[in-house]
Amino acid sequence: MLESKQFRYDIMRSTKKRAERNTRMPYISTINEHSYRVNTGEHNQQRDITIDGTAYTIDWRFIAPLAADGKGQPNIGGRYSLIIAGKSYEIFARRMHKPDEGGSETYEITCGEQRFEVRVEDEREKALGSVKSALDSGEALVRAPMPGLVIGVPIEVGASVVHGQTVVVLEAMKMENDLAAPRAGTIKEIKVDQGQTVNQGDILIVISAEP
């Protein structure tokens, strides 16, 4: 029965088209430990953006690429023209490589005599990356990383799961998010049903350690 449910789930997932792949996700930009939520709109020269709920109309144009570094390797980034609130700025952006970036990207931004380091993360990836498994008495908890709608629970109580196996599919931010088992074990408890709305931090699945 468990195999049958997993098989039906796999077929459903493999045949469903994901229109949300074309949906633009907000970004989290962090400058000097302060984070801003940015909606970028369409990728053209004139666009509307929203920063922490405040709307701006900007004109953003690529001017020229950056020169190669001292080793002759190309720099990722460029020289840009930015017009916002009637003011014009010349911006230099250079991709930096940090050892602890994870799924984020860091850029060195220079505007006049001012220099900033900006870390940019996709909001969805940031939320998924923040999923924590709470270990208590040998149990692992799978929690909702964000508010959403449960659209799939491809496991049943008593099933054995491996680390990384999908145990819940959560629809949030107009995308389907696979929530994985944080470790191998046995499904002890399923606290949600398909079609149920959950809040960030809600416990969805309890996994007990294998004997």
Q: For residues 85 and 59, what is the distance between their CA atoms, to the nearest angstrom?
A: 10
> For position 28, which CATH number holds?
2.40.128
Is the pLDDT at 134 greater than 60? The verdict is no
The predicted pLDDT at position 42 comes to 60
**pLDDT-based confidence at residue 113 (cuts at 50, 70, 90):** confident
Say if residue 90 is in the same domain as residue 109.
yes
Say if residue 43 is in the same domain as residue 104.
yes
Strand order in the sheet with 197-198: 175-180, 166-172, 148-152, 197-198
Domain boundary, last residue among 124, 142, 161: 124
Cβ atoms within 10 Å of 127's Cβ, excluding its own: 20
**pLDDT-based confidence at residue 163 (cuts at 50, 70, 90):** confident
Say if residue 147 is in the same domain as residue 106.
no
Q: Using an 8 Å Cβ cutoff, are 177 and 142 in contact?
A: no
**Does a structural domain hold residue 138?**
yes
Residues whose CB falls within 8 Å of the CB of residue 112, separated by 6 or more in sequence, listed in order: 89, 90
> For position 186, which CATH number holds?
2.40.50.100
Mean pLDDT of all residues belonging to the chain: 78
**Does a structural domain hold residue 72?**
yes
Hey, what are 61's tokens?
């144009």
Q: Using an 8 Å Cβ cutoff, are 191 and 203 in contact?
A: yes
The predicted pLDDT at position 153 comes to 94
**Does a structural domain hold residue 174?**
yes
Say if residue 33 is in the same domain as residue 111.
yes
Q: Quote the number of domains for the chain.
A: 2
Instruction: List, as one string, the DSSP characters of the chain.
Output: -HHHHHHHHHHHHHH---GGGGSPPPEEEEETTEEEEEE--SSSSEEEEEETTEEEEEEEEEEEPPPP-TTSPPPSEEEEEEEETTEEEEEEEEEE--TT-TT-EEEEEEETTEEEEEEEEEHHHHHHHT--PEEETTEEEEE-SSSEEEEE----TT-EE-TT-EEEEEEETTEEEEEEPSSSEEEEEE---TT-EE-TT-EEEEEEPP-
**Does a structural domain hold residue 88?**
yes
| pLDDT tens for each residue of 34-72 | 888 887 766 566 677 888 778 888 888 999 998 887 777
Domain boundary, last residue among 75, 98, 124: 124
Instruction: Residue 51: give the domain boundaries.
Output: 23-124
Bridge partner list, 186:
160, 208
**Does a structural domain hold residue 145?**
yes
Mean pLDDT of 158-164: 90
**Does a structural domain hold residue 50?**
yes
| pLDDT tens for each residue of 175-199 | 888 888 888 899 999 999 999 999 8
